[in-house]
């Protein structure tokens, strides 16, 4: 039973670690998109006959991109909070897993000591029967 609980906690820990890596990957994607958008803001200029030919439109375009960056930063913040929550959960699962591992090791030690004791008793009985029969 303890062995099953130990394996369950290990599996749960591995699942949470995978979730954490997926969230971190999403955060990296958001950071990349933020840097690309910031680069577009920095490089946006007014062109004489281009699509952006008025400073007002340019300002609106830059404000829209800044708003997009704000939304991305908010999403990034939420993901970071989820990662922090997962880290706490992973730590708890690892603690529980270690506890079950310790219990398993203690049970194995007890079983080994029991076997040794039984073998000692058997050898003592054998020696006594040999002594009595002599």
Least confident of 3-12, 20-29, 48-57, 103-112: 48-57
Per residue in 18-74, pLDDT (tens digit) is 999 999 999 999 999 999 999 888 887 766 666 556 777 778 888 999 999 999 999
SS3 123: helix
Least confident of 5-9, 50-54, 91-95: 50-54
Q: Residue 116 has which token pair?
A: 């040794």
93 exposure class (CB count in 10 Å sphere: 0-12, 13-18, 19+): buried
Mean residue pLDDT across the chain: 87
Answer whether 60's CB lies under 8 Å from 51's CB.
no
Residue 87 vs residues 17, 83, 93: alpha-carbon distances, Å: 8, 6, 10
Cβ neighbour number for residue 16 with a 10 Å cutoff: 20
| Mean pLDDT, residues 99-127 | 88
- pLDDT of the residue at 52: 58
DSSP string, 50-84: SS--SHHHHHHHHHHHHHHHHHHHHHHHHHHHHHH
Residue 55 vs residues 29, 33, 50, 65, 127: alpha-carbon distances, Å: 31, 25, 12, 15, 105
| pLDDT above 90 as % of the chain | 52
- pLDDT of the residue at 131: 73
């Amino acid at each position: 039973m303890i062995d099953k609980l130990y394996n369950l906690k290990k599996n749960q820990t591995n699942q949470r670690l995978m979730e954490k890596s997926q969230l971190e990957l999403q955060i990296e994607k958001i950071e990349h998109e933020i840097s690309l958008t910031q680069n577009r803001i920095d490089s946006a200029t007014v062109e004489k006959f281009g699509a952006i030919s008025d400073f007002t439109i340019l300002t609106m375009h830059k404000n829209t991109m800044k708003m997009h960056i704000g939304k991305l930063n908010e999403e990034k913040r939420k993901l970071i909070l989820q990662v922090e929550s997962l880290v706490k959960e992973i730590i708890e699962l690892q603690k529980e897993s270690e506890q079950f591992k310790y219990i398993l090791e203690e049970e194995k030690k007890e079983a080994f000591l029991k076997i040794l004791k039984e073998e000692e008793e058997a050898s003592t009985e054998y020696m006594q029967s040999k002594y009595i029969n002599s």
